[in-house]
Amino acid sequence: MARTIADDLVIVLAGEAGQGLQSIEGILAHLLKKSGYNYFSASEFMSRVRGGANSTAIRVSGKRTAGFLDRIDILLPLHREAIPHLGNRITPDTIVIGEKDKIDHPGMIDIQFTRMAAETGGAIYANTIAAGCICGLLKVDEKECEDFILGYFSGKSEEIRSNNVAAIKKGYAAGKGLAGITVAIEKDAAVKKELLLTGSEAIALGALAGGCDYVCAYPMSPSTGVLVEMASHAKKFPIIVEQVEDEIGVVNMALGAWYAGARALVTTSGGGFALMCEGISLCGMIESPLVLHLAQRPGPATGLPTRSEQGDLDLVLHAGHGDFPRIILAPGTLAEAFALTQKAFNLAAACQVPVFILTDQFFIDSRGNTPVFPVGDLKVEKHVVKTAMDYKRFSLTENGISPRGIPGYGSGHVCADSDEHDEAGHITEDLELRVRMVDKRLKKFAAIRADIIAPKLVGSGDYRTLVVCWGSTFNTVCEAVEALGEKDVAVLHFSWLFPFPEEAGAYLKKAANLIVVEGNSSAQFARLIRLETGVASDHSVLKYNGLPFSVEEVKEEIKKFIRAGGRHGKRF
């Protein structure tokens, strides 16, 4: 069976938790990107520390692609269950490389990783051998592999390092010699100079550039990655990172931190965020800035803890009792994750509102290369004033935004109260003042609107069918529409969800057919669109089994819809 893979390769590693999928992926990510390949990986895993059936899909391509594919070109199953686990993603075209005595699959290429590992010094080296095998197949420079491995294991003993070098060479030789498979993906030297990072890392770097100096959280999948990243930055930057006793404590700590002049970030997921809702309401009442990263996972309740969904939009839109403004962002790319998180801190400080960054497990755990984030023009905007004796924290102003003082900076008193309050911040039951205070808070919507980021149109402006998506699905949906090859189908992606961008109305109204793709069961964004613009979608493509959308299924759904002449689906 001779195969030539010319421009785009999907390698899937499948194994139990604890077998080392992550370490193989970690090695491959750096080596493939260093070689000039565009790299993208996405992981799906069970909520357990050992055992189960997990997989990581690695995409290696000549041009930048970060869509998730069902297709598997090469499968490395590390255990028997990998084959049934991946089901019909394995086709006759899938090249399976594994160990005969462990895995029974017709046409499988037998490479004895375990035996080779034993010869190298122990079973522990099997992962490095597997990584070497892929490197050999993809013609990564062998010397580079050796150098990288030495660095990767730099903290280990001399014996472990040299054994790993031997292991990568052994794997390399096996991969290079694989009969019949030729990989001819073009390398791009520019990729070597790009960043390689996960969604979590991009969010954390954005926070760093946004002047974040206080992080508090309660660990919860899939949001913990951002907490861990920030903790690692805290080794070099003046950032307080505190693991709090519960999420209620988290949000109240974050508000205390902003009150005292810090720039606090909260990172959480569904259930944790649900616990914070009263605190979000407090944030609205005391007009505190707040930046909250919410990595979505399927609910209700504990749901599927390690899986992905876009099901918390409604919650974030409405979290907290009472009326108050908020901003909701949802990055679609690593570059957006960095830029929007950075901006979130300035927006929060400028408008004194909670700013939410909505991601999901798929986005946060994915890894890819992206051009270096520009820092040049970025500024940390504090929007803090030095107070005078007569300072009033909630002074009534033209645009609803009162200059924000902080205690200890100036001679004034900074009084924040969860009760309805007067301009100075004291409890009031003056009901006429109550109305003015509500109006003041809501006025800030107008100030926020000045900063709104319009949705991005990808494709011809001359579309008949418009495919709308938001947040993490950007790359997958764009690739699906591109693969469809229909000239009159375009994509409209929202990275700023709320306040709803008015500019979107014209795009939406122009479409003869409107399709909304989103990862939840009730078409939450389609309903928001209808509420805000009056435009009903003609079809919703929904997914809520915990896995990300794939390029193939989105393409297929759009195709079916167009073939049926449009306007056949449920209206949301």
Partner 1 sequence: MENAFDFADKVDIAWCPGCGNFSIRQALLAALAELDLARENVVLVSGIGQAAKMPHYIDTSFFNGLHGRGLPAATAIKACNPELTVIAVGGDGDMYGEGGNHLLHAGRRNPDITLFVHDNMVYGLTKGQASPTSRPGMETPVQVFGVFEKPLNPMALAIALDVPFVARVFCADVEQTKEVMKKAIAHKGFALVDIFQPCVSFNKTNIFKWFKDNTAYLPDGYDPSDRAGAFKKSLEEEPFPLGIIYQSDQRATFEDNLEVYKKDRTPLYTREVDMKKVEAEIMAKV
The whole-angstrom separation of Cα 358 and Cα 255 is 19
By CB under 8 A, what part of segment 73-132 binds partner 1?
A: none
Residues in the chain: 572
Nearer to partner 1, 279 or 354 (CB): 279
Nearer to partner 1, 208 or 466 (CB): 208
Could you say which DSSP state residue 519 is in?
S
**Shortest distance in whole angstroms from residue 331 CB to partner 1:** 16
Q: For residue 408, is it left (φ>0), alpha (ψ between -120 and 50) or beta? A: left
Helix H or strand E segment including 215: strand 214-217
**Shortest distance in whole angstroms from residue 138 CB to partner 1:** 20
- 332-371 footprint of partner 1 as x/- string (CB under 8 A): ----------------------------------------
Q: How many other C-beta atoms are found inside a 10 Å radius of the C-beta of residue 534? A: 10
Q: Whose structure tokens read 């992606």? A: 493
**Shortest distance in whole angstroms from residue 321 CB to partner 1:** 12
Per-residue tokens: 136: 């050999």
Residues binding partner 1: number (CB under 8 A): 66
Could you say which DSSP state residue 309 is in?
-
> Distances from the Cα of 473 to the Cαs of 67, 91, 196, in angstroms?
8, 25, 19
Stretch that binds partner 1, among 151-159, 373-381, 525-533, 563-571 (CB under 8 A): 373-381
By CB under 8 A, what part of segment 1-20 binds partner 1?
A: none
Instruction: Return the closest-CA partner of residue 313 out of 542, 503, 467, 534.
Output: 542
**Shortest distance in whole angstroms from residue 36 CB to partner 1:** 13
**Shortest distance in whole angstroms from residue 383 CB to partner 1:** 12
Instruction: Write phi, then psi, for 340 (nearest 5 degrees).
Output: -70, -35
Nearer to partner 1, 184 or 240 (CB): 240
Instruction: Return the closest-CA partner of residue 42 out of 293, 308, 268, 341.
Output: 308
Q: Whose structure tokens read 């565009």? A: 38
By CB under 8 A, what part of segment 274-293 binds partner 1?
A: 278-279, 282, 286
| Selected binder of partner 1 within 16, 99, 201, 479 (CB under 8 A) | 201
Stretch that binds partner 1, among 90-98, 245-253, 312-320, 462-470 (CB under 8 A): 245-253
* Contact residues for 24 (Cβ-Cβ < 8 A; gap 6+): 13, 56, 76, 127, 130, 131
By CB under 8 A, what part of segment 249-278 binds partner 1?
A: 249-250, 252-257, 259-262, 264, 278
Per-residue tokens: 368: 């890819």
**Shortest distance in whole angstroms from residue 189 CB to partner 1:** 13
The whole-angstrom separation of Cα 275 and Cα 247 is 6
Per-residue tokens: 17: 């938790």
Per-residue tokens: 10: 């999907």
Per-residue tokens: 478: 């764009």
- 399-438 footprint of partner 1 as x/- string (CB under 8 A): -------xxxxxxxxxxxxxx-----xxx-----------
**Shortest distance in whole angstroms from residue 418 CB to partner 1:** 5
Contact 327, 492 (CB under 8 A): no
The whole-angstrom separation of Cα 222 and Cα 283 is 24
Stretch that binds partner 1, among 93-101, 114-122, 248-256, 529-537 (CB under 8 A): 248-256
**Shortest distance in whole angstroms from residue 420 CB to partner 1:** 12
| Selected binder of partner 1 within 39, 214, 218, 496 (CB under 8 A) | 214
> Distances from the Cα of 334 to the Cαs of 13, 33, 58, 571, in angstroms?
23, 16, 17, 32
The whole-angstrom separation of Cα 62 and Cα 8 is 7
**Shortest distance in whole angstroms from residue 421 CB to partner 1:** 9
Nearer to partner 1, 218 or 496 (CB): 218
Could you say which DSSP state residue 421 is in?
B
**Shortest distance in whole angstroms from residue 2 CB to partner 1:** 37
Stretch that binds partner 1, among 49-57, 116-124, 207-215, 539-547 (CB under 8 A): 207-215
DSSP 3-state of 60: strand
| Selected binder of partner 1 within 60, 95, 129, 239 (CB under 8 A) | 239
Nearer to partner 1, 121 or 271 (CB): 271
| Selected binder of partner 1 within 2, 189, 301, 372 (CB under 8 A) | 372
**Shortest distance in whole angstroms from residue 234 CB to partner 1:** 7
Nearer to partner 1, 269 or 288 (CB): 288
Contact 94, 75 (CB under 8 A): yes
Chain positions contacting partner 1, by CB under 8 A: 193-197, 201, 205, 208-209, 211, 213-214, 216, 233-234, 236-240, 242, 244-246, 248-250, 252-257, 259-262, 264, 278-279, 282, 286, 372-373, 375, 378, 380, 382, 384, 406-419, 425-427
